[in-house]
């Protein structure tokens, strides 16, 4: 299912799998020109091109995993009616497919980092932990959204607006240093802000503002607690609704 999802995504395009790399790169070029040269948003941020590209790649995975995961159950409606397949595998396969894209894009980020002179430290070994948190949060939301989408098709429009709002609430295009120190910690109530900044801290530069160096230690538990609550609610709701999927699709 993972292989099929990944192949179908670029089946009719001329460049095929190359779009996995070209999409974030083209977005990076546009945003870098606008925010680095016109608005000077990267002023004072070491290795800002890598800093920005990594944020875009992480966000793209979150967006892709939730959007594709949301329609996964409905899209596999015929399969659900014909085969007694565990429902959770359908959503999990869409997240795994997005994870392949993430792996390819992180390879591109690594090349950029090498050419940009990023000084890698032992903290790079923490990247898998941050990726695990990202995957868990994104997949949990995909489970919740996919179950809701079976009953309420309006969810796709609501989530589209929510993603747009969350994109600007997450410090992807800008550095948190432009915000007063008193307000910085409140950005980390958004789990994606915590994940993006932690990824930048361990992979790009230790000058990155994170929840660990801008807020009391207990405050760091807030985004983690939110992720935990989302995981519990999403799996409970998905399991409760899964038995009705074939009838409601």
More confident residue, 2 or 17: 2
The candidate with the shortest Cα–Cα distance to 189, out of 163, 222, 167, 165, is: 222
* C-alpha–C-alpha distance, residues 199 and 203, integer Å: 6
- Give a three-class secondary structure readout of 12-81: CCCCHHHHHHHHHHHHHHHHHHHHHHHCCCCCCCCCHHHHHHHHHHHHHHHHHHHHHHHCHHHHCHHHHH
DSSP string, 59-77: HHHHHHHHHHHHTHHHHTH
* C-alpha–C-alpha distance, residues 31 and 208, integer Å: 19
Other C-beta atoms closer than 10 Å to the C-beta of 175 total: 20
Cβ(70)–Cβ(159) below 8 Å: yes
The candidate with the shortest Cα–Cα distance to 205, out of 104, 105, 55, 40, is: 55
Model confidence at 13: pLDDT above 60: no
**Size (the chain), residues:** 249
Q: 120-162: per-residue pLDDT in tens? A: 899 999 999 999 999 999 999 999 999 999 988 899 999 999 9
In this prediction, what percent of the chain has a pLDDT beyond 90? 51
More confident residue, 120 or 230: 230
The candidate with the shortest Cα–Cα distance to 201, out of 130, 142, 149, 150, is: 130
SS3 221: helix
What's the CA dihedral at 126, 131, 133, 136 to 10 degrees?
-150
Model confidence at 62: pLDDT above 90: yes
* C-alpha–C-alpha distance, residues 27 and 17, integer Å: 17
Please state whether the predicted TM-score (pTM) of the whole model is above 0.75.
Answer: yes
More confident residue, 38 or 84: 84
Helices 19-32 and 48-70 cross at an angle (nearest 10°) of 130
Cβ(216)–Cβ(182) below 8 Å: no
SS3 118: coil
* C-alpha–C-alpha distance, residues 132 and 113, integer Å: 22
Q: Is the dihedral of CA 137, 141, 144, 150 positive or negative?
A: negative
Looking up tokens 């795994």 gives 96
Model confidence at 14: pLDDT above 60: no
The candidate with the shortest Cα–Cα distance to 43, out of 167, 171, 175, is: 175
């Amino acid at each position: 299912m993972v292989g099929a999802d990944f192949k179908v995504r670029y089946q009719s395009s001329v460049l095929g799998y190359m779009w996995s790399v070209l999409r974030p790169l083209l977005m990076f070029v546009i945003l870098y020109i606008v925010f680095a040269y016109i608005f000077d948003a990267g002023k004072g941020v070491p290795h800002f091109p890598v800093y920005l590209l990594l944020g875009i790649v992480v966000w793209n995975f979150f967006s892709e995993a939730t959007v594709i995961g949301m329609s996964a159950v409905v899209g596999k409606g015929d399969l659900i009616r014909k085969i007694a397949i565990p429902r959770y595998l359908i959503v999990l396969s869409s997240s795994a497919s997005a994870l392949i894209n993430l792996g390819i894009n992180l390879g591109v980020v690594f090349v950029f980092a090498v050419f940009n002179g990023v000084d890698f430290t032992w903290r790079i070994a923490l990247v898998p932990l941050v990726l695990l948190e990202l995957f868990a949060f994104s997949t949990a939301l995909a489970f919740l959204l996919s179950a809701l989408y079976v009953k309420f098709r309006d969810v796709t429009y609501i989530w589209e607006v929510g993603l747009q709002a969350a994109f600007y609430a997450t410090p992807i295009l800008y550095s948190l240093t432009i915000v007063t120190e008193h307000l910085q910690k409140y950005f980390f109530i958004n789990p994606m802000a915590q994940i993006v900044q932690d990824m930048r801290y361990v992979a790009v530069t230790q000058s990155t503002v994170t929840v660990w160096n801008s807020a009391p230690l207990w405050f760091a538990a807030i985004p983690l607690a939110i992720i935990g609550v989302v995981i519990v609610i999403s799996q409970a709701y998905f399991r409760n609704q899964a038995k009705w999927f074939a009838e409601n699709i």
